[in-house]
Structure 1
Amino acid sequence: MKLLNIPFLFLILIWGNGYGQTHNITFEHLTTEQGLSQNDVNAIAQDKNGFMWFGTHDGLNKYDGYNFQVFQSNPNDSSTISSNLIFALEEDPRGYLWVGTTGAGLNLLDISTEKFTRFYHTPGNKEGLSNNFITQVVVSSKEEVWIATQNGLNLIRNTPLKSPVFEKFLVGTASKNPIQAIYEGGMARFGLALQVVCFTWCAMARSIR
């Protein structure tokens, strides 16, 4: 969630440098020519060591400022990422990277070993994900992991990372509850965007309003 501060800081720097004088702002472009696996970038995160992570339509990319390292799915190796189509990235305080895919569930990357653990929605499993289409992952100030999916909101509490229990919350009575975005606000509340409708999750009351 620290990445939310970057655009604001960036604007301050631009305004401060531009006040009373003119400066040319230049951007460095990172594309497949520099080693990025694919040019459609859906998610960006920065880990505690300063490395940048990019989720694309064709794999997860780690960038050290000079070179890209690409992580892609291998159907014969369950320790690789479950899909190359990535839409959500978030690092937790323990240094693990949560990776949400479109249609292939949630992944947990141990950055130190570069191994992935996969989590899927399985019909009938009350402790599993509510859906395999992940739209966003947010780690709250209480270090809880919130997962927005195309069918409801999921919460992981302080459970073993290798076998977490997903607590699920649905909005209304519709058969599908596509949540597009999550934002943590004050008073233990979260803002939820469901297509064009916004709701508030109250953590204390354990309800969506």
Structure 2
Amino acid sequence: MKVHSKQLFYSILFLLIAARIQADEFLYKQMSISEGFPPYIQHIYTEENGFVWISSKQGLGKFNGYELKSYFHDNKNPYSLPGNEIYQIEEDSLHTLWILTNNGTVHYQPDTDRFIPVLDENGKALKATALCKLPGKILLTGQDKLYQYTYNEKQVKTLLQIKTPSPFLICKMVPWDTHTLLCISQWQGITLVDTRNGERRPSPLPNEREITHVLIDHDENIWATSYNRGITCFDRQGNIHATYNTENRKLSHNVILCLSEHKGKIWAGTDGGGINIIHPQTDSVTILKHLPGDKNSLPINSIQCLFQRDGQEDTWAGSVKGGLINIRHSIVRSYSDVPLGYTNGCDMKSHR
């Protein structure tokens, strides 16, 4: 009888350990304001070599894993940033880093640690607000114009004028099909632009003027957000596949500040509700959230931007008032710092 009881005990212990190991857990490392990081991080980009670039309205930063180097506009230095407000950071297929600022576009030259101005066909500084990578070329937009840069010519040329009755400030461009871009404006919603003639036409998504963020995933599903309305998933024809909000108890917050896709899951940074990870296959949501008193939880609940590079495990999050956060998947968690009797710290998962 004692032998059977001992075997039962070890069997139960093994099952508990196995369940603990399989539980979703994340490790967080915060690089805060006290370490020189800006409080509001608007953009993040990680290079293949591991450097992490971040931006705020006060300039640009390069993080090597140990220290942050900051870059600002300097009137006396022609190879400094042309402007301190960063619109986009992107690496092309030849591993050239493009930085779009409020006063011009530059290439970063790592050997000299300089920023080289990008000029148009007339020799003038290119002022672009968004960049989109396509096979063999890059498309940029600014002042209702579409520009093209080909890897063969290595020269920016004006492609066409976007036909619009009023200015439409594009902050993001996403390929829609072989000759159409889905263009997103921060305050004017979305529109489709034909890259052959510059014609604008409505997208199939309803209430397109109210849309604030759009993500097209690897399965061609369209994830869209509107202010304080959560997230809606559409097909290419504009039919709703799923909705996620606080009303149906799927999200922790309805104000979505950013969207990204990683390993088939949709990550959403919220304005006070942490990070919501949508699992489309099961229609479930994992919530990463700061829990007071639990230092193992997400350090801060307002997430402005997210970045994950294909083939890498790390997620980088830019917070509101909390600097930069590195997130890694883990199967180990320590409870040594959880206050006695504090039940939040003993949950294996910080999600619903």
Same fold (TM over 0.5): yes
SS of corresponding position for 1:11: strand
State, as a whole percentage, how many aligned pairs show the same letter.
24
Distance 2:301 2:308 in 1: 19
Q: 1:135 aligns to what?
A: 304
- CA 1:127–1:7 in structure 2 vs 1: closer, same or farther (change >3 Å)? same
SS of corresponding position for 1:154: strand
CA positional deviation for 1:52: 2.0
Preserved CA contact (<8 Å) 2:271 2:302 = yes
Name which of 315, 327, 331 aligns with 1:156.
327
Preserved CA contact (<8 Å) 2:278 2:285 = yes
1:74 paired with 2:246, answer yes
Preserved CA contact (<8 Å) 1:91 1:97 = yes
Deviations 1:39-75 (A, max 9, x none): 4433322211122212221121223210242523235
- CA 1:145–1:50 in structure 2 vs 1: closer, same or farther (change >3 Å)? same
Preserved CA contact (<8 Å) 1:145 1:157 = yes
User: Which blocks of at least 5 consecutive residues in structure 1 are unaligned?
Assistant: 166-209
Deviations 1:149-202 (A, max 9, x none): 111222221325xx999xxxxxxxxxxxxxxxxxxxxxxxxxxxxxxxxxxxxx
Count of paired positions:
153
Q: 1:56 aligns to what?
A: 226
Distance 1:145 1:121 in 2: 16
State how 1:70-149 maps to structure 2 within 5 Å: 71-74=243-246, 77=249, 80-92=250-262, 94-141=263-310, 142-149=312-319
Distance 2:200 2:233 in 1: 19
Q: 1:25 aligns to what?
A: 198
Letter in 1 for 2:236: G
Distance 1:76 1:97 in 2: 18
User: Which shifted more, 114-123 or 61-70?
Assistant: 61-70
- CA 1:29–1:106 in structure 2 vs 1: closer, same or farther (change >3 Å)? same
Distance 1:164 1:82 in 2: 23
Distance 2:333 2:316 in 1: 12
- CA 1:139–1:164 in structure 2 vs 1: closer, same or farther (change >3 Å)? farther
Distance 2:292 2:277 in 1: 21
CA positional deviation for 1:105: 1.2
Name which of 128, 132, 136 aligns with 1:7.
132
TM-score (norm 2): 0.38
Preserved CA contact (<8 Å) 2:246 2:254 = no
Distance 1:24 1:71 in 2: 35
Distance 2:233 2:261 in 1: 13
Instruction: Please provide the CA RMSD for this pair.
Output: 3.4
Deviations 1:113-158 (A, max 9, x none): 2211112112221111121111011113522111111112222213
CA positional deviation for 1:27: 2.6
Distance 1:129 1:85 in 2: 18
Letter in 1 for 2:199: T
